[in-house]
């Protein structure tokens, strides 16, 4: 049973009210740009919502939103996206109304693990996978909200910019922890070991967790924050993160 994240829902509802007013104030009907503005602010709220779920900040008591998704069974073994679903108003204009449809347990596994174990390293790796998925979120957005060709390249660039910015932020913090000897998964793995002893966790899953932990610490140490090259997370690395969380990355 999932508990509604009332705090986050209230924030999103407040944002939606502001967004609708913003669209009304800024739309030039002669240019027919309402859909474009709606798509931009929808993306902004999507970004806000995901960060609120993964990085609770002062809202320590928040629970994951009622319906979340993180599709971890994609053909290329990379995270697909947090799916976006939009409701249409009676006059068929898109609303900045976000819904998360549960099509997999992966995202909830990430969030629940982060909250239950209060491990900053786990949060960073979960957030890294989220930021890696921004580009595929655009595909969901474009299927739901009409975006003309002139705006398509702009929005794609914005998603990629967000992805690169956030990955650099999370990787930089990971490197700081790893280099300082503060990235240690022993406590987390000990708790998982107890679950194996209780018969509630498959020993093979724990074995993968133990194998993944030191490799991910080495991965964090290898990040060069001064590099100007595009950040790319290889499939093998994403699978290690899934292994650390005990989430299957392929069928």
**Digit-coded pLDDT (tens) for 70-81:** 333 333 332 333
pLDDT per position as a tens digit, 165-183:
888 988 999 999 999 999 9
Range of the domain at 11: 6-245
Whether residue 92 is contained in a domain is answered as yes
Rounded to whole angstroms, the Cα distance separating 135 from 78 reads: 12
Cα-to-chain-centroid distance, residue 21: 28
Q: Is 126 a domain residue?
A: yes
Residues making up the chain, counted from first to last: 251
Percentage with pLDDT > 90 across the chain: 22
CA distance 205 to 203: 5
Most confident of 25-34, 91-100, 182-191: 182-191
Tell if the pTM clears 0.75, that is, is over it. Answer: no
- Are 158 and 135 contacting, i.e. CB atoms less than 8 angstroms apart? no
Tens-digit pLDDT profile for residues 56-74 = 455 444 333 333 333 333 3
Classify residue 11: in a domain, yes or no. Answer: yes
β partners of residue 85: 99
**Domain presence at residue 114:** yes
Spatial separation of the C-alpha atoms in residues 51 and 167, rounded to whole Å: 13
pLDDT above 80 (res 118): no
In a domain, 1, yes or no: no
Residue 25 lies in a domain: yes
Please say whether the beta carbons of 241 and 72 come within 8 A.
Answer: no
* 251 in a structural domain: no
Question: Which residues, 6 or more positions from 31, have their beta carbon under 8 angstroms from its beta carbon?
Answer: none
Q: What is the pLDDT of residue 88?
A: 34
Residue 80, phi then psi, degrees to nearest 5: -75, -75
Whether residue 225 is contained in a domain is answered as yes
Q: Are 175 and 59 in contact (CB under 8 A)?
A: no
Number of domains the chain contains? 1
Residues 194-246 have pLDDT tens digits of 989 999 889 999 999 999 999 999 999 999 999 999 999 888 998 898 888 88
């Amino acid at each position: 049973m999932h508990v509604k994240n009332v705090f986050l829902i209230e924030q999103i509802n407040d944002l939606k009210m502001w967004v609708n007013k913003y669209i009304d104030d800024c739309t030039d009907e002669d240019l027919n740009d309402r859909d474009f503005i709606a798509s931009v602010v929808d993306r902004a709220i999507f970004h806000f919502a995901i960060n609120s779920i993964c990085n609770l900040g002062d809202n320590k008591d928040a629970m994951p939103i009622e319906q979340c998704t993180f599709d971890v069974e994609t053909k290329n073994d990379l995270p697909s996206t947090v799916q976006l679903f939009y409701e249409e108003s009676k006059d068929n204009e898109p609303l900045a109304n976000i819904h998360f449809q549960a099509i997999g347990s992966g995202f909830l596994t990430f969030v629940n693990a982060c909250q239950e174990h209060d491990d900053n390293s786990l949060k960073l790796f979960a957030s890294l996978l989220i930021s890696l998925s921004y580009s595929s979120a655009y595909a969901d957005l474009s299927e739901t909200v009409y975006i003309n060709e002139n705006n398509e390249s702009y929005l794609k660039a914005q998603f990629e910019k967000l992805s690169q910015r956030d990955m650099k932020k999370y990787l930089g913090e990971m490197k700081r922890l790893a280099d300082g000897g503060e990235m240690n998964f022993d406590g987390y793995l000990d708790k998982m070991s107890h679950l194996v002893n209780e018969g509630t966790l498959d020993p093979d899953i724990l074995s993968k967790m133990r194998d993944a932990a030191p490799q991910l610490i080495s991965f964090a140490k290898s990040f060069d924050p001064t590099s100007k090259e595009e950040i790319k997370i290889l499939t093998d690395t994403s699978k290690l993160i899934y292994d650390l969380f005990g989430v299957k990355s392929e069928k």
